[in-house]
Structure 1
Amino acid sequence: MAAPLLPGNALRLLESGGEFFPALCAALNAARYEIHLESYIYNRDDSGILVTNALLAAAARGVSVRVIVDAFGGRDFAHDTMPVLLNGGVEVLLYNREFGITAGRQRLRRLHRKLAVIDRQNAFIGGINIIDDMHTPNQIPPRIDYSVLIRGPLAGMVWQAASELWERLCWTNFRRPPSLVHLPVSAPLPVGDQYAALVLRDNFRHRNDIEGAYLAALQRARREMIIANAYFLPGRRFRNALVDAARRGVTVTLLLQGRMEYWLLRHGCRALYPHLMQAGVRIVEYRKSFLHAKVAVMDDDWATVGSSNIDPFSLLVAREANVVVRDAAFAAQLRASLTRAMVDGGVELTPDEWRRRPLAERLAGWVALTLVRILVGMSGYARSARQREG
């Protein structure tokens, strides 16, 4: 079911940590009543310490501060930062402490969304973890990533989603959930003229919403679709939508990670290149630094920014949160940023060059893709993926 587009929002695109962390800390420092923060990774580095200090200061002045970090992504957080926050009056929960491919489907489910909402009035959604993106060994920083600062009615939707998850986790952790703060402020009023929707992915009511938003955009595209994604390993239905759009004349561009981070995902993704390029899909690998973005822009007035990659982890297992925006100015800003990244650090691949790559590299792609399919099958999600794809 498509998430409704809400009018009356004021949105600000934030590029990488250099813009995100000052905006987040300013909002945390101005909080008067309540803070919700969720992250997959929470590191104790320069940026993490800034956020931690802002959370502690808010708690010290009486703000109700609640933090959820994924137990797998935040393995270090549980030991080096969580005790500090708890001692300072911050309420903290870890999401799903058990994990492992052989441990059953439930243990594979992760909290991958990155969001914050302050006093119900200001919210952040994107792909940026609480981690300093200026410390990228052997690369030119920063990582390429995005978040959105939201004011207006959509901030109220983010607050609702964060509050619901907090209450649910309190019950599943056998903790009586404290009464939610009765904020002495009304639901956010319209403050701008931008339309936007909150699109979630979970294992209950919103299993396919984020993928559905991408597929609907690809079907509507008439001129251009740019997708920038860190971990790109889509299923058959998504690949067919890319090919169909390219064949009807849409300029489809994929901006993908060009540096080795995870062997399986990198080579599995590259195994899909020949089919996509043959159909006319442009593939640009970003090689200057790490690409961690999960964004897209379509034609003149559609864009999405969020936490969801286009891979089995994000589309089948994890809790994710994206914002879909219908606004020409926002889409133009994101398109300009992605274009700069492609010009500054991207390498466009061609079918002829790709066919001349070494046999060992082609075999690596085949092996990686086969292993991914086996792992998805072992996890028990293969059947639901096949059913979704028809």
Structure 2
Amino acid sequence: MTYFIDGNQIQLLRSGTEYFPALLAAIENSTREIYLQSYIYKDDVTGVKIGDALKNAARRGVSVNILLDGFGSKDLSKSYVEELEQTGVQVMFYRPKISPWSLKKRRLRRLHQKIAVIDGHIGFVGGINIIDDYDVPNNAPNNVPPRVDYAVRIEGKLLPVILANVQKLWRRIAWIHMRRANLVIAKTVKLMNLTDSQQHNIKAALVLRDNVLHRSDIEDAYLDAIGHAKSEIIIANAYFVPGRRFRLALLAAVKRGVKVKLLLQGRMEYFLMFSTHAFYSEFLRSGIEIYEYRKSFMHSKVAVIDDAWATVGSSNIDPFSLLLAREANVVVKDTTFANELRADLQANIEDGALRIDPQHWTRGNIFKRFASWIAYGLVRAFLGVIGHSNEK
């Protein structure tokens, strides 16, 4: 069950263009403590700018704690990490062993969530890594627009929940690394002056996915919302390989008369992404609309249902996110927020996406359909190796 807390101010942030300035402003105004968790941290122009702000905060006496994934941030130079640590920034890596020859589940369980909490007063949750928006895969042409992604800036009563989560994980990793956690003693979180405006009194929930107590919470939140949908479902997801329960839920929604739109990545980054196409025929026959975003790279992990329920976070709808990784999504129950996100997704559909025509897909795309089943077969084999072979 998703537990919603009211009394929040939540701002939608579109890609790094809006996210990084908001994060920088919060870091520069910090006075007590900063927690930053990211799958990827790259010491490019953006990463260095964020790093400089973190170093300055540490010099002011702020407790700065960075937790990065060992695989996602494997290219972060050791010299840059040492440079951060020399100023007082604490840096730790989640599962630093990244041997490509091991298929042990514990090596594949990554820290994929992207969270920042500043002074226990401002929080950020989303899908945006600390990497330049224009750093795109496969040496894309210079004229390709920045990647499409989302995050939210949060103030309010949800902050103690987010802070407790990041501190708990920090303590655990510090214990594993045999390091002192050096946590700042928590104080009462300062809340904004709430008004009667919905913008300042939003119901929201932090929904996590881990391998202990929250193994299916994010997927369950999606399935519950899909199961109660009455008019429209829009899902924008970069890596979309849904399991059987998820597929059946979408098909059942269509049968109830719900309009379902999927905005998916149209630029393939690697071969296994072809597994997404394995479900195109079934979805298209049922009446689900599929759009492939091709204007640039799409990294989104968001959804809007019935103009009242929305989620923004780090979780894809694929086996990596739903079965292995640590993920964090914020679920929002607010018409104004949902409509804002829906309008942005609709603009992306109209401006940068290609709708997949059912008849054209059935008659053509023989190579894509063939490749999709090879890729999906490899995904299924992979799941069998790591112990999830019963997933259909």
Q: Which band: TM-score by shorter chain? A: over 0.9
Partner Cα distance (2:149, 2:278) in 1: 25
- Give the aligned partner of residue 159 of structure 2: 155
What residue number does 1:75 align with?
A: 74
Distance (Å, rounded) in 2 between the aligned partners of 1:172 and 1:129: 24
Tell me the CA shift for residue 202 of structure 1: 0.2
From 362, 365, 389, the equivalent of 1:382 is 389
Instruction: Report the Cα distance in structure 1 between the residues aligned to 2:79 and 2:287, rounded to whole angstroms.
Output: 48
Instruction: Name 2:266's counterpart in structure 1.
Output: 258
Count of residues in correspondence between the two structures: 381
- Take 2:362 and 2:135, find their aligned partners in 1: how far apart are those partners? 35
Separation in 1, partners of 2:34, 2:219 = 29
Whether the 8 Å contact between 1:229 and 1:292 is mirrored in structure 2 is yes
Q: Map Cα deviations across residues 211-252 of structure 1 (whole Å, 9 max, x no partner).
A: 001001100100000000000001111000011101111010
Q: In the alignment, which residue of structure 1 is the partner of 2:197? A: none
* Among candidates 360, 364, 370, match of residue 377 of structure 2: 370
* Equivalent pair of 1:101/1:108 in contact (CA under 8 Å): no
What is residue 90 of structure 1 aligned with on the other side? Answer: 89
User: Matches of 1:78 and 1:306 in 2, distance apart?
Assistant: 27
Matched, 1:277 2:277: no
Residues 352-363 of structure 1 aligned to structure 2 (within 5 Å): 352-363=359-370
Aligned partner of 2:179 among 175, 179, 188: 175
Q: Letter of the 1:182 partner, please give it.
A: I
Matched, 1:239 2:276: no
Quote the Cα distance in structure 1 between the aligned partners of 2:260 and 2:367: 29
1:1-390 maps to which residues of 2 (within 5 A)?
A: 2-99=1-98, 100=100, 102-136=102-136, 137-138=140-141, 140-178=144-182, 180-183=183-186, 185-189=187-191, 191=194, 192-265=200-273, 267-383=274-390, 385=391
**1:101: how far off?**
6.3
Note if contact 1:222-1:299 (Cα within 8 Å) is conserved in structure 2.
yes
Listed one character per residue, the Cα deviations across residues 126-184 of structure 1 (whole Å, up to 9, x for unaligned) are 00000010344325221110000000011221111100000010112222433x2014x
SS in 1 for 2:72: coil
Contact 2:145–2:296 (Cα < 8 Å) also in 1: yes
Task: Answer yes or no: is the 8 Å Cα contact 1:55–1:90 preserved in 2.
Answer: yes
User: Which deviates more from structure 2 when the two are superposed, residues 2-11 or residues 53-62?
Assistant: 2-11
Structure 1 residue 296, shift from structure 2 partner: 0.2
Per the normalisation by structure 1, the TM-score is 0.95
Deviation at 1:3, TM superposition (A): 2.9
What is the distance in 1 between the residues matched to 2:210 and 2:305?
A: 25
Q: For the residues of structure 2 that align with 1:42 and 1:79, how far apart are their CA atoms?
A: 12
Distance in 2 separating the partners of 1:76 and 1:363: 34
Q: Identity percentage over the alignment?
A: 49
Report if aligned partners of 2:307, 2:342 keep a CA contact under 8 Å in 1. no
CA 1:64 to 1:10, structure 2 compared with 1: closer, same or farther past 3 Å? same
TM-score (norm 2): 0.94
Gaps of 5+ in 2: 195-199
| Unaligned runs of at least 5 residues, structure 1 | none
Provide the alpha-carbon RMSD of the alignment.
Answer: 1.3
C-alpha displacement of 1:78: 4.8
Tell which deviates more after alignment, 169-178 or 89-98. 169-178
Is this contact kept in 1: 2:103–2:385, CA < 8 A?
A: no
- Runs of 4+ residues over 6 Å off in structure 1: none
Confirm or deny: 8 A CA contact 1:247 1:280 kept in the other structure.
no
Shift of 1:206: 0.4
Question: Does the 8 A contact of 1:102 with 1:379 survive in 2?
Answer: no
Name the CA distance, whole Å, in 1 between partners of 2:28 and 2:88.
16
